[in-house]
Structure 1
Amino acid sequence: MEYKNNGHIRVFLVGHAISPNRGSEPGNTWNWAWELSKYTNVDVFAYPQHRKEIEKFILEHPRNNLRFHWVTLDNFDPWHPEKGESGLRFHYILWLRKVYKIIKNLIDNMQEPIVVHQVSWSTVSTPPPILQGVPIVWGPVSGGQVAPASFRDFFGNAWPKEMVRSWRVSFYPLILGWGRRVSSLPLILAVNRETEALLRKAGAKRVEFFLDCGVPSGFGLPKPQEVARPPGPLRLLWAGRLDFIKALPLVLMALRRVRVPVELLVAGDGPLKLQWQSAVQRLGLSDKVRFLGRIPWDKMKEVFQEAHAFVFTSLRDGFGCVVLEAMSFGLPVITLDHQGVGTFLPADAAIKVPVRTPEETFQAISEGIERLALDEDLRLRMSREAWRFAQEERWDRRAERMLALYEEVLSHAHRRV
């Protein structure tokens, strides 16, 4: 259903990084701003790292009800973008404090209904400060998920660091300031069940599930696949950073058990590339696995269209935006049944395998591959459902759902006054 708005809501969107030309956080913040501003007034509070890109786009595509407030730190800034990420976390905390001071000064002189929506840094570690007089929506956020301990061997010498992270996450609800801020918010959007549970443990009033990424306009297939794949191997695609968390070896071990013709395309780069290429040779999979290297985002469309199914093996992830992108091209998914993918993916679009022991997971992935390879009718049905799921996460539809939630938040806030 199309959202109808009379334009009386003003949205203050807090997003540190923003750009119409980039993915990840800059792209997400941009899509929120652009799609929401089709319906109502939007003020964006952002750091000016990509300001020139924004100004060039707005010059070519003007929109009067979309305004930008470029916020920098005045005296001391521990982060210098040209030098990498060193100091970024401390910078963000200081930046966030300044943003909310600016917002407080602005709302003191406004009469129209205002909702503040903090979309940047989609992690539970940095909730918004308590701000009297205006409702704040936070999210979508993740970060409550932890890697399963039974899969520690896949992390190698990185496991102690992963254990420290898991321990830190478990203590968040015990941190007084963190819990007070979480419990003060009228609405938090969570990306997975694990994060929802963490937030509720801290006293969150209302938590709704909402993906932290969407399908951009024009991305993916215009309609679901209807044509069977040609004879030959089932072509699987795995895409992501080649590091411990993404756990490519899970599908490599599964491939050793597969008894049907299959090919695996690996798109991505990272510190474990050479190690995993050696593993492919050691496991006797050189004729089945092809490493494509890092593929630019605009070129991934061709790779998605080359594949017949997508495999996602991340051991710790909020959701995994590449999964949604693959589904927009009608790719059924074989994935671990936990965290964001376990929370969101419908059973008729994904084969979700248990995450109890590595042995059980290897076997379940291999069985899932064989099912898709041997039953083309099943693969096509799952392809259609994957495409339909991705359509529900188009950015225009996400904006419509978000605006309806703003209305609910404002209505509740007015009843309390």
Structure 2
Amino acid sequence: MFAERRAVLIFAQDANLKDGGEAARPLQYFLELRARGVDVHLLVHERNRKALEAGCPEHTCRVHFVPETWFDRACARVGDFLPERMYTVTTAAWSWIATQGRARRIIRRLMREAGIGLVHQPTPISPKAPSRMHGFGIPVVIGPLNGGMDFPQAFARRQSRIAAAVVGLARRCAQPLSLIYRGLREARVVLVSNARTREALPNGLQGQVRQLTANAVHTQRWTPRPQPRADGRVRFLFAGRLVGFKAVDQLLEVWSRWKPEVPVELRIVGDGPERAELEALALRLGVQDTVHFAGWAAGEALIEEVRDADVFVFPSLREAGGAVLMEAMSCGVPVIAADWGGPADYVQPQTGLLVDASSPAAFKDGLREAMDQLAHDAGLRARLGAAGRTHALQNLDWSRRVDVLESIYRELLRDELATERTPAPLLSWPDATARKVREDN
């Protein structure tokens, strides 16, 4: 336990396993810290209540909720009509700023009632997102952040000009906004996943900037299948949201032109706004017999999907993270991904194949060659898969991420306690004499 029961508060907009990705990360931290006996609380938006009460009811005594308002609902409704990236930097950002304002009052109350001595804001992961976590008189940790991502230059047209202009404007506004909402500037520690994210931070940060990879995997849950499937097909798997930047359309086009000499199949696990369009594309390309859209899967169902795959293929072209790649490696499944962004940070030559994204032609050729290589070489699949499992065990487990976080918490709380206990410096002799003269007069 921390000295004098100094408690930690994790604050995030969302924290649940149902949505996965960025929403899952704060909950993973909270649950891992609770399992270690750390005095930790979680503060999230009201919309997470049902998922948290259903998924981890034994921890709800330590979970607090920021009430939803009409403004949140209005922002969400407007966001339904916007492309995802435009929504993220406009109405979602406005709602987030307002949510933080309400959260500040709750945090001050919890400081009094629950002994909160440190606030950790792990999301949103964008280094440009405004933070209002300042002015509490206690240490604040922000991150790990992981952003500053754009499409490869050759794929810039996958984002509309309007969306690109709005995102560019939002990024230019980040610096002046950081002067108003000073959370990033005044945080004691800002965690970043990589050099790319560090460079995207606003200028003028007062605290330390340290590196810690944002994503991780529970290697005890994501384990290899004990026995290989017996159906004789090489199964390729994509898992993720079906949105434009995941580039599943590129994968389908390559799949339709690929003529392997062994039986193959492609399972697409996920859902999203582009699912209907992608299913129609598969029909037009004539690959419906070997491509199966399995719908959304989470929890144990997703683990089983990954375990049953022979190759995990992830063509995303604007991926800051890529936790699903870590999960595949933990299951001993070799991976194929774009040599860009988060996947390029996580995938090593001994664990998977990275595909050149310098041009559309190079990307499609690279995908086809990588799939062909792994489809026809079971030995290579086995070697890459085994190396991926070893890499996950040694470097990617959640426990290692939380080891670092807990160390940072202890360091900051110890420093804070030492500062509070340090007596005021004694006046030097001349100052003391001058003060005595003033008092006598």
Which TM-score tier does this pair reach, normalised by the shorter chain?
A: 0.7 to 0.9
Structure 2 partner of 1:30: 27
User: Which position in structure 1 is the counterpart of 2:201?
Assistant: 199
Greater Rg over alpha carbons, structure: 2
**Aligned match for 1:129, one of 128, 133, 137:** 133
Q: Is the 8 A contact 1:266 1:292 kept in 2?
A: yes
Q: Is the 8 A contact 2:178 2:185 kept in 1?
A: no
Answering whether residue 249 of structure 2 is matched by residue 249 of structure 1, we say yes
**Counterpart position of 1:11:** 8
Shift of 1:283: 4.2
Offset of residue 98 of structure 1: 2.7
- The structure that is helix-richer by fraction is 2
- Unaligned 5+ segments in structure 2 are 80-90, 421-441
Offset of 1:310 from its aligned partner?
0.6
Letter in 1 for 2:378: E
Residues 337 and 353, structure 2, Cα contact 8 Å, conserved in 1: yes
Q: What is the CA distance between 1:246 and its match in structure 2?
A: 1.0
- Counterpart contact for 1:173–1:201, Cα < 8 Å: no
Change (3 A) 1:416 1:350: farther
Cα–Cα, structure 1 residues 209 and 345, in superposed 2: closer, same or farther, change >3 Å?
Answer: farther
Counterpart of 2:72? 79
CA change 1:225–1:200 in 2 (3 A) is: farther
Taking the TM superposition and a 5 Å limit, the aligned residue runs for 1:17-416 are 17-19=14-16, 23-37=20-34, 38-51=36-49, 54=52, 61=58, 67-72=62-67, 77-80=70-73, 89-104=93-108, 107=111, 114-124=117-127, 125-131=129-135, 133-153=137-157, 155=158, 158-168=159-169, 170-172=171-173, 174-175=175-176, 177=178, 181-199=183-201, 203=205, 205-216=207-218, 219-221=221-223, 224=224, 232-255=232-255, 256-257=257-258, 259-261=260-262, 262-391=264-393, 392-410=395-413
Aligned AA (2:382) = L
For 1:133 and 1:127, locate their aligned partners in 2 and report how far apart those are by CA, in whole Å: 16
**Partners of 2:55 and 2:284 in 1: CA distance:** 50
Q: How far is the alpha carbon of 1:94 from its aligned partner?
A: 1.9
User: 2:388 & 2:238 partners in 1: Cα distance?
Assistant: 16
What's the Cα RMSD here?
Answer: 3.7
| Cα deviation, residue 360, structure 1 | 1.3
User: Aligned AA for 2:410?
Assistant: E
1:42 Cα deviation after fit: 0.7
Structure 1: tracts of 5 or more residues without a match? none
CA contact (8 A) 1:7 1:41 kept: no
CA drift at 1:294: 3.3
| Matches of 2:209 and 2:49, distance apart in 1 | 33
Percent identity among equivalent residues?
A: 25
Cα offsets for 1:278-302 (capped at 9, x unmatched): 4435545444433323345442233
